[in-house]
Amino acid sequence: MKPPSLGDFTGPKRGSGLVPGDMYHLGGDEVNTACYESTPDVAAWLKAQDPPLDGNGGYEYFVKKAHTIARSKGRDTVGWEEIWNHFGTDLPLSTIIHQVSSTAASTFSTAAYPAFPTAARACSTAADNLSQWLPGSTIGINATR
């Protein structure tokens, strides 16, 4: 059995492939770009680029390339707030920001980027208000605080 290809993963159009949803979450958080420069094969690739790239340049290349591939397959791209912190308005306007902090939300929403909060934030908010939905419940404590 042959391993799946990128085409198998993405499928030829929205709603197809191994991941058939319309959104691809491309991550982008907690990247230690120093590892790019300390891994021999990756460091050689960075140096071979024109112009040569450092670890941050490699990160930028990856994020932009991943977004380009996902968009070419008709997918909406989602990335953690860290990509916003790194790229700002250099990101394609169609990028959906997966919001982590409340402080950055005003900057990407002012720039007209779509966003949604982390599930943990949404769940903790729901848990805070659960006692309103279930009278007599004491399950309203936010464990994330």
Residues forming the active site:
30
Provide the strand spans (E) within the chain: 23-25, 76-80, 96-99, 115-117
Q: What is the mean pLDDT of residues 36-40?
A: 89
Is residue 70 scored above 50 in pLDDT? yes
Angle among Cα 109, 114, 115 to the nearest 5 degrees reads 85
Tens of pLDDT, residues 74-94: 888 888 888 888 888 888 888
- Sequence ranges of the domains in the chain: 27-113, 118-145
Is residue 117 scored above 60 in pLDDT? yes
Q: What SS3 class is residue 100?
A: coil
Report how far residue 61's alpha carbon sits from residue 43's, in angstroms, rounded to the nearest whole number.
14
Does 40 sit behind a cis peptide bond, omega within 30 degrees of 0 on the bond before it? no
Residue 41 is predicted with a pLDDT of 93
